[in-house]
Each structure stands twice: as structure tokens, then as C-alpha cells.
Structure 1
Amino acid sequence: MAYKGQDNLDHLQPHKVGVLITNLGTPDAPETGALRRYLREFLSDPRVVEIPRFIWFFILNLVILVIRPPKSAEAYKGIWTEQGSPLLFHSLAQGDGIRERLQRKYGDAVEVRVAMRYGNPSIPGQLQAFEDAGIRKLLVLPLYPQYSASTNASTFDALARDFMKRRLLPDLRFISHYPDYPSYIQAMADHIRAWRDQHGGADKLVFSYHGVPKRFLLKGDPYFHECHQSSQLLARALGLQEHEWMTTFQSRFGAEEWLQPYTDATMKALPGEGVKSVQVFCPGFSADCLETVEEIDEENREYFEEAGGESFAYIPALNAEPVHLDALTQLIEDNLQGWSLRADG
């Protein structure tokens, strides 16, 4: 029996490899409505807020989504640029740089796209674009070096939910974390060293990571340990003495205890301990965003200076710096081993 389309053997031909680079996300505009949509998607994720859904539904919709969007919109207005949100344009620039590096070596055998876990460009939209392009092998790199269920696992959840709706699934490789990847550590060290060569040093170099509730750690989430691992390796690469650096955690939300020490409390305390100059770098943020530009470089600068500190400096994230793009490209290539990358597919 003959079937319609049985002579179309496109699905048997060699296929290109897709590389999907993801980050957390950003609202479409610094406006209350856009922030409400973004926060609803973000805070509805059970990986992010581990509270019984029935209870959280009312807290989210009757309290948080009423109070928080206008305040968040004002904060985003302060960092918004002509190119849009910093996280988005830095992420797109990272994608462009990685694409250029991979295609320089492998031609059009590799296609690179960028997606946001929440907001746009969306993961489902980019997966559809890959399928339309005939991608049958897919590597996913979430740009969260230190593993947490609230970020890395949430990204995998989004992939899985999308795949449940598809008949044709690609071969999948997922880079779940890279806290001790040598090129990542070296890229940060080179970046910090170059910045300090230009601007000078400080009494203390603080590595600030996004916080999570302490109970995540108690449930087995390795994030706390991987943050300290990255800090120790980075301090060693920079040749720092123990008293010259420390690790802190920022961005806590709600009343429960989060990972400590807190960045804001640390900034308020350091001047009283004799630390007059401080520099802050955020190893867990691959790109600058609200939490670095506004929270660190503005809020925490004020805390430090109001407490008597004399000099505060924020060292920008790696963003699309060549050393970062080189490190990420090497990480991707390491994880593409065994897949054909001939320019003809």
C-alpha cells in the first residue's frame, strides 16, 4: 500500500545540530502590565516557590501581583536601555558570539539560538524554530553555572513540557551545571584581573550569588556548595589570601531564612570591621541584569557608603566579553563530542 509522502525521505537525511542557550528572563517592557505578566509566569513555577499551590495561588494573585509589579516596573525603568533589558541584549550578544565561533569552525552544521525561561524569546518558540530547521540533535546550555532546582531543573522542566506535545523529539544533551569548569573559572579570573589592573584593588573582594531559601539546601540542593566551590577556585586563580575575599548571597524575598551571609547585611557591617574599600563580582550571573545593576551597584553601594565605607565598586558580569564567549564555546564543544559536525550536516 502506498502512503502520501512516502517518497519524502527528508527525515532520513543528515541533520544539523542545535545549541539552545537559556537564561532566566525579562519583562517585555518596564511597565506594570508587562511586569505582572512576567512575574505571574516566574512566580507560578513550583520550582521557584515551593509552597502548596492552593495557598500560593491566593498569595500570588491577591497580594504579590497587586503590590509588586508597579515597584518592579520602576526598578526596571532605571536600568532599561535603548536596546531593551540588559539581560536580554547581553544574552543575545552572547548567542551571536558563540554562533560566530562555532560556525567559524563547523560552518552551517550548527545553529545557535537564545531563549528565556520566562518571557521572550520563549523556549517553546525556539524549539519550534529548531524543529522547522530540521534540527534533530539538540544541546541545551542554561547559563547558571551553579546548579539549583529553581533554575537549572526548572529549565529542564520547560523542555520536558514542550517535548510532551511533540511527536518528533531530538536527541538531547543538557548541561546541568559548570561551577568548576576550568575555562569558566579562568575567564572570570582574567576578567577581574583586567578590571583591577585598570581601576585598582580593594580591601575586600566579595563574590555575591543569588540567594535561595535555606530549606533548599536542607532538601539536598547543591547550590550553596557549588557557589563556595566556584568562589574558592576563583580566589585561588586570582592568588587571593583568605582575608581578601568572601562569599555572600543576595536577593532574598519573604520572611524565611535564606542562604547566608546576606550581601546587604555584609555591606552594612564591613565598614565597622575596618573594611574601607570593597569590590563586588557576581560569579553566578552570566549577564548583567536588575540584580546586578540595580541591587548591587545601587542599593548595596548605598548600604556600604552609609555605613562609613569609602570606596565601593561593582565589577561587571562577564556578559559578551571574548574570554567568556571562548569559555562557553569550549564548554559547548566538549559536550558535542560524538555528534557529527560536518559542514554538510
Structure 2
Amino acid sequence: MSASNQGRIGVLLVNLGTPDSPKTPDVRRYLNEFLTDGRVVDMPAAIRYPLFRGLVVPLRAPKSAKIYQQLWTERGSPLLYHGLDLQKKVQEQLGSDYLVAFGMRYQNPSVESALLELRDAAVSRIIVLPLFPQYASASTGSVQEKVMDIVKDWWIVPSISFISSFADDPDFITCLVARGRAEMEGHDYDHFVFSYHGIPERHILKGSHNNYCKLGTCCASYNKNNRYCYRAQCYATSRLLAQGLGLRDDQYTVTFQSRLQSRLRDPWLQPYTDEVIKEYPAKGINNVLAFSPAFVADCLETTIEVGDEFKELFEEAGGKHWQLVPSLNSEPMWVEAVASMIRRN
């Protein structure tokens, strides 16, 4: 049966979110939605809402707005325009049998508006691809929950499938390796850092299958027991990336960034990137190539945090050269990889 009779296959690409502008009110709206998500901050709502809306966000929004101003370009937020570019190119790659929509978990364009676009087009089914390589309840899980919360009110709900992770997807790894090799050409790096977004350790333990996760050597292999463990997936991606780059185990370090420990007062995944890199120069490590394999599009956490802030910390400690590998964004190889994942699903 042809697509014209059966209906196109709907594809929903989702990334985390971004403020509508780098102005403080828009940043405040974004942070209010993001930090009151029960999967991001797993506190009781009676505590979470007054704490973050009444205290944390009002204090944080002006500071975050200044950082977003550094990130903003003529096209706006990189996370947004890279997402829209990816949507357009994946649509071209997949052809007329598919309809590709793009949404943000927080703010605009919303997941709801993207789903309505697919519903109005009478797609035969929907494939949802959260653009987070490694599954975490606070990212992929939140997108899945949001999608199901929206479609539960539809009278007719088409078949919906989720691509929950692609941490070890061969095409994804190939893209990372290609990006890394391009940056390595003509340079002699002492060490490689694979910096992932951190999450609280309790998130790992809450999702542990039969108490398998011990936040230690259990992540040395990737198997059915830790298939959806964020930490295990980060290490799995890192091993494959290192293998593709031809690195020995002692040539790279897996680290975690962007923690909120100072406010939540509990441990996040370790080691912390900012603490690790300050020790490098004293160990004779002066030239570092940094990857952000948890992000497929350049954003505040890559461009500003890893690219600028960590570079400054490294150089203040005596390091000579710190280089960030750009994210995949909408590079042709990545577009093909995304289209391939969708076709396979």
C-alpha cells in the first residue's frame, strides 16, 4: 500500500529546550518550566515548586541570562536553529513518505505543537527520537512522559514508538570519531576528556535493575542489567569512541559536568570535570581535546561551559591548549545517521 493511501510516517525530533530570548524574563520562564519538572528535580511538588520558583530561579535567571547573551547569535539560540536545520535535512533525507517535526521539551517550539502538526497530517504512526544519546529519566524519560501526557487526550492515538537511546549506535559513534579526527589533525594532544552532563547519583540508583548499579565497576560492561543506566551508557559511548580514535585506556578520562550539588547538597556523578582538569598541568598534561558526547547540538553546556569556562580553568592551572570538539549539529554524516535510525525503527 502506498504512503498516499496509508499515510506518512510521522517523526518527532525533540531536544531539551531554550529560552525564547536571552532576556531575564524569558530565561526565568524557561528555568521555571525546566527546574520544576519532577523528573529533573525529583522532590515532592509541595517542596519543589516554592523552592525553585520562589528562590532558586529568581536568583539564577539574571546570571543565566548573561551567559545566554554570550551564546546568542544572529540566528538566535544554537540549540534551536541546529534543531530546525536537522529537521529540514532529515526530512530531505527521508523523503515524502515521512513527515519530520521538531519540538523542545521546555518552551518553544513545544512538543505539543509538533505533535499536533503530525496529527493534523494524519500520519499512520509516530516515531519519537529524543536527541539525547544516553537515556536518563531527566531527559529522555521526561520527553516520553510529556508525549504520552499529550496524546492521552486524543480521541484517536496512532501507534507511537520511542528511540530511547543511541549511546552505542555505530553510526552515531562514527560521527563522533570523524569530528574528533578532524580536530586531531595537525595537533599532538596529551589527553582526551569525554565530559557528560551530570545527574544525581540517586537517579542512577533509583533506576537500577535488581540493585545491579553500584556506581563503580558495574559500568565496565554494557549489558541487559544496565541497558538504561545513564552512567553505563556514558562509559559505553566512551569506550567505543576511544576505540574509534585509537586511544589507550590511559589516554582518556570520562567526567561529568553541570552539577547543581551546591543547592541540592547530594552527590552527582563523579568525577567532576572542573575538578579533574585543574589537576592535569601538574601531571604533565598540557594539551587536551575535549568531547561532549551527551550533546548532539552546540549549546550553553558545550560552547560556554566546556569550550570557554573549562578552557579558562585549565589555563589558569597552567595548561597550554584546550580544544572543544564541535557537536554534530546538522552535519551531513549526522543527518544520515539520524535518518538511518528512523528507518530501522
TM-score, normalised to structure 2, is 0.90
Paired residues in the alignment total 319
Matches within 5 A, 1:143-154: 143-154=131-142
Matching residue within 162, 184, 203 for 1:196: 184
Matching residue within 330, 338, 341 for 1:320: 330
Matching residue within 74, 81, 85 for 1:82: 74
Q: Retained in 2: the 8 A contact 1:136–1:169?
A: no
Matching residue within 126, 142, 145 for 1:157: 145
Question: What amino acid maps onto 1:215 in structure 2?
Answer: R
Matching residue within 263, 267, 274 for 1:264: 274
Find the counterpart in structure 1 of residue 225 from structure 2. none
Q: Retained in 1: the 8 A contact 2:179–2:326?
A: no
- What do residues 190-240 of structure 1 show as CA deviations (whole Å, max 9, x unaligned)? 12112222x523101101100000111122250001000000011011111
Shift of 1:129: 1.0
Find the counterpart in structure 2 of residue 250 from structure 1. 257
Mapped partners of 1:189, 1:34: distance in 2: 36
Find the counterpart in structure 2 of residue 297 from structure 1. 307
Find the counterpart in structure 2 of residue 206 from structure 1. 193
Mapped partners of 1:90, 1:201: distance in 2: 30
Shift of 1:175: 0.4
Indicate yes or no: 2:123 matched with 1:131.
no
Matching residue within 41, 45, 48 for 2:40: 48
Q: Retained in 2: the 8 A contact 1:231–1:247?
A: yes
SS of equivalent residue, structure 2 residue 161 = strand
Mapped partners of 2:54, 2:150: distance in 1: 29
Matching residue within 299, 306, 322 for 2:316: 306
Question: What amino acid maps onto 1:232 in structure 2?
Answer: R
SS of equivalent residue, structure 1 residue 134 = coil
Find the counterpart in structure 2 of residue 187 from structure 1. 175
Shift of 1:13: 4.7
- What do residues 51-96 of structure 1 show as CA deviations (whole Å, max 9, x unaligned)? 1211122211221121011111100000100100010111111111
Matching residue within 302, 317, 340 for 1:330: 340
Mapped partners of 1:57, 1:14: distance in 2: 45
Mapped partners of 1:201, 1:147: distance in 2: 33
Question: What amino acid maps onto 2:154 in structure 1?
Answer: R
Shift of 1:260: 0.5
SS of equivalent residue, structure 2 residue 143 = helix
TM-score, normalised to structure 1, is 0.90
Indicate yes or no: 2:244 matched with 1:231.
no
List, as ranges, runs of 4+ consecutive aligned residues in structure 1 with deviation greater than 3 Å: none
Find the counterpart in structure 1 of residue 56 from structure 2. 64
**Percent identity at matched positions?**
41
Question: What amino acid maps onto 2:44 in structure 1?
Answer: P
Shift of 1:136: 2.7
Question: What amino acid maps onto 1:66 in structure 2?
Answer: P
Mapped partners of 1:24, 1:109: distance in 2: 27
- What do residues 160-190 of structure 1 show as CA deviations (whole Å, max 9, x unaligned)? 1101211111111110011111111111111
Mapped partners of 1:99, 1:57: distance in 2: 39
Please say which structure displays the higher CA radius of gyration.
1
Q: Retained in 2: the 8 A contact 1:204–1:279?
A: yes
Question: What amino acid maps onto 1:260 in structure 2?
Answer: Q
Q: Retained in 1: the 8 A contact 2:16–2:139?
A: yes
Q: Retained in 2: the 8 A contact 1:16–1:135?
A: yes
Shift of 1:118: 0.5
Mapped partners of 2:257, 2:35: distance in 1: 18
Q: Retained in 2: the 8 A contact 1:191–1:323?
A: no
